[in-house]
Amino acid sequence: MNRKLVLAVQARLGSSRLPGKVLKEVCGKPILARMLERLGRVETPAKIVVLTTTDNADEPIVQLCRELDVEVFRGHPTDLLDRHYLAGLVHGAEAIAKIPSDCPLIDPAIVDRVLARYVVGDCDYAGNLHPASYPDGNDVEVMGMAALGEAWREAGLALEREHTTPYIWERPERFRLANVAWESGLDYSLSHRWTLDYAEDYEFIRRVYEELYPERPGFGLDDILDLLARKPEIAALNARYAGVNWYRHHLHELKTVDTRHTRMLD
């Protein structure tokens, strides 16, 4: 089945915990540039589009994408559902893959696995988060424009607008959902934190790049795990935040997520 896929990388500079995080440098380039470089290794045919906001503060993201010859869509600052849906319409997408820009260590092979699961054609949504099993920071969610459009029209909760996909995965009776589990059979989703939200996360990601990128620019999940086994002090840099995610703020509103899927900060 051939479908026009858009890899939508949401990025903005207004992070409350780590402002400007996607433009912080690793190995001489902004983190966003390094992440786009990794997504360029995805084998499934797809167009990469960076989704940023209409805020003037995000102009540096637009400029960086111009330098990298990557397309940009600018939309609502906080309504990510609106931003994803309108970007899909503009680019004539049949399906959108939502990939946060705070995942600069994402393994392209994992992206391909999730895309392949969606392209089989028997689901409205495919992801690797419900339940999650890969190390945190390998987040991929793919949804057809029909499902995304229904969510765009019907979603009323603030969390459904901000996080794009909850309206879909919270309704298994309404949408055909598929999940891709880590083929190892392991679950590192709450124990291994490879995402970018705090200063300690940046130090972790910077060290991983410094250790692996010079000799192997296309390093993957197994390379990172091998590195952390050899140098556990790197894993310790942001270990206090392992398992911390946005679910913890909305457990009273979510039906399919509970305390097993997140950790509260001490």
What tens digit of pLDDT does each residue of 232-252 get? 999 999 999 999 999 999 999
Number of compact structural domains in the chain: 1
Structure tokens at 175: 């949408």
The pLDDT mean for the chain works out to 97
Whether residue 2 is predicted with pLDDT greater than 60 in this model: the reply is no
Tell whether 104 is covered by a domain: yes
Distance CA 63, CA 69 (A): 10
Average pLDDT over residues 211-221: 98
Tell whether 266 is covered by a domain: no
Please name the residue ranges forming H helices in 103-217. 108-119, 145-154, 158-162, 166-169, 199-212
Whether residue 3 is predicted with pLDDT greater than 90 in this model: the reply is no
Whether residue 164 is predicted with pLDDT greater than 80 in this model: the reply is yes
Residue 179 Rama label (left phi>0; alpha psi -120 to 50; beta): beta
Tell whether 180 is covered by a domain: yes
Tell whether 88 is covered by a domain: yes
Tell whether 260 is covered by a domain: no
Tell whether 246 is covered by a domain: yes
Tell whether 265 is covered by a domain: no
Distance CA 168, CA 87 (A): 18
- Which range of residues forms the domain containing residue 123? 5-253
Instruction: Return the percentage of the chain with pLDDT > 90, whole number.
Output: 96
Read off the pLDDT band of 266 (50, 70, 90).
low
Average pLDDT over residues 41-70: 98
Nearest alpha carbon to residue 244 among 195, 199, 181: 195
Residue 6's Cβ-side half-sphere holds a number of Cα atoms within 13 Å equal to 26
* Nearby residues of 219 by Cβ (< 8 Å), 6 or more positions away: 212, 213
Tell whether 263 is covered by a domain: no
Distance CA 221, CA 243 (A): 18
Nearest alpha carbon to residue 32 among 7, 55, 12: 12
What does pTM read for this prediction? 0.96
CATH of the domain at 117: 3.90.550.10
